[in-house]
Amino acid sequence: MGLLQDLKTRVLTADGAIGTLLYSYGLDYCHEEMNIARPEIIEKIHSEYIAVGADIIQTNTYGANAIKLARYGFESRVKEFNEAALKIAKRAAAPGGQYVLATIGGIRGIRKSDATLDEILAAFQEQVEVLLAGEPDGFLLETYYDFEELSHCVHLLRSMTDLPIIAQVTMQEPGVLQNQMTLNEALQDLERVGADIVGSNCRLGPFHTIQAFEGVNLPKTAFLSAYPNASLLDIEDGRVVYESETDYFARAAVELVNQGVRLIGGCCGTTPKHIAAVKKYLANLTPVETKEEKHGHTQFVRIAEPRKQEPLHEKAKRERSVIVELDTPRHLEIEGFVEGAKQLANAGADVIMMADNSLASPRISNIAMAAILKEHGIRSLPHLTCRDRNLIGLQSHLMGLNALELHDILVITGDPTKVGDFPGATSVYDVSSMELISLIKQLNKGGSFTGKSLRKQADFSVAAAFNPNVRVLDRAVARLEKKIEHGADYFISQPVYTKEKIIEIYEATKHLDTPIYIGIMPLTSSRSAEFLHHEVPGIKLSDEVLARMAACGDDKDAATAEGIAIAKELLDTACKYFNGIYLITPFLRYEMTLELMEYVKQYDVESKGVQSNV
């Protein structure tokens, strides 16, 4: 009798955790390497689960793919680790005839990972081919936070085998995935793409797992599975621990059976003692054939109020739009900054853009200054880096921005801390700039980073950075296209210092409907020009510009005049090809930016005059 035939009439008990058991033994390196280095420990764990009554055990292959093994330098040992794991599990199960499932774990979390979906599927296929050769009784795909990844993996696996497939999602919040799908919707979709058993594992303890399954329909042909954690995790003396009484875990298993689950195992923190208790409590239970789903009250997500100001990307598609950057102070005297922002806004700047601790050096919080500028009727565009805040801080920061009705934002990766004032500080980088853009767009749909309802949609217009100062511009443009796929509404470029580069940008991006603001920053001295050229990432000056600034020597007035003259020449070209102009104010010298803004106005007046005479 096979696994699926068994589940038609029985509730089966699977094993519990392997990874957290190894961790509790002090083995916190590459657990899959233990299949070769310490096979006796892996076999002992399998045997202990079998001894307490597990009907099913899983191989120690959760992370045995090339992508996950690469972090240990073991990417070339995929075949070796998987073959060994399957032999160990089958050897342990042979006397009792337990089913052996070949386990494959998810790769993506909230962070999509640096690997593309194609690369993930290639690594998945490589692992599957090795495991299939070892003849398991089925496959267990577990701990998949990203539904796109799991559904593609199930589809690929079904094309490769007729063996039973168990597909388990992992929820950040009870009953909802991080992409805002309900658990019920996700399990139905997994059944449609070929999974025989569908369910969830990890992240949530028994209480929240039951809560999630209360809203799940019984599948049409598939069966339900659940592998909860022992409890919510805790930290004790710097180590991860799970507090859970085995009797409580087993009583929860009974309730899961009442919700239609037919295959019950354990995830993080569970041990053979948990599985022994589950086996005891489930001994006389039979699967339920019908259930009444408990649907919680419908969460209505309020639509965001209409914007009081037109989004920048919409204006830039239609007419001239000017962004002015003015860095917040490094000190606590803000009067000069506010006065400069007022003059720039009065001169016609659409927004005042403020960096987020550029070059990894601390300045007054741009969200604080944005709130102050708003009191003066000035619209702002703060940067948001991935460097300084983890996912908790990023979501909290964004929710605060939305509450303040600050809807314009530029998302950037952020300079690493080692280049700034505190080289020993930690760079976070929980997500890349592209991933953060996607998450912000999820906020715009009313869902948190974990998929939980925010009860109201955010309303962010998201800009992304563009560095055209590269040898191969096509690669930079390909990156723009990828950012557009993630949800970028418009782009703001690094400063450009040659007319030829501006024209090259236009030719390379004219197929895009997404506006680009071309960065222009006036130079103030030969020394600052040399610094920008040689030390600031993403900025390169031409030999001609460097020579013109060098010719000014130590004459500050001459250098200022020359810097403005160079900027005006660049504006002649930028205004011809792009509606979006991004003026960067050097060293809070906003009078230079004011002169350039007046020049842009004059250019537009003259251009309209020429057009009207034609």
Contact status, residue 583 vs residue 614, Cβ threshold 8 Å: no
CA atoms of 176 and 452, how far apart (whole Å): 7
Contact status, residue 353 vs residue 378, Cβ threshold 8 Å: no
3-state secondary structure 454-507: CCECCCCEEEEEECCCCCCHHHHHHHHHHHHHHCCCEEEEEECCCHHHHHHHHH
CA atoms of 516 and 536, how far apart (whole Å): 22
Residue 153 marked as a ligand binder = no
Residues 6+ apart with CB under 8 A from 251: 281
DSSP character string of 406-450: --EEEEE----GGGSS-TTSPP--SS-HHHHHHHHHHHHTTB-TT
Residue 30 marked as a ligand binder = no
Residue 386 marked as a ligand binder = no
User: Token digits for 121?
Assistant: 């599927």
Query: For tokens 């494959």, what's the residue?
Result: 104
Nearest to 28 by CA among 202, 230, 238: 238
* DSSP bridge partners of 244: none
Within 10 angstroms of residue 80's Cβ, the number of other Cβ atoms is 16
Cβ burial of 6 (10 Å; 0-12, 13-18, 19+) is middle
Q: Coil, helix or strand for 613?
A: helix
The H or E element spanning position 104 is strand 99-105
Side-chain-side CA neighbours of residue 389 (13 Å):
17
Can you list the alpha helix ranges (DSSP code H) found in 324-472?
A: 335-346, 366-375, 391-403, 433-444
Residue at 16: amino acid letter: G
User: Token digits for 460?
Assistant: 């962010």
CA atoms of 164 and 160, how far apart (whole Å): 12
Residues annotated within a binding site: 202, 267-268
Known binding site for Zn(2+): residues? 202, 267-268
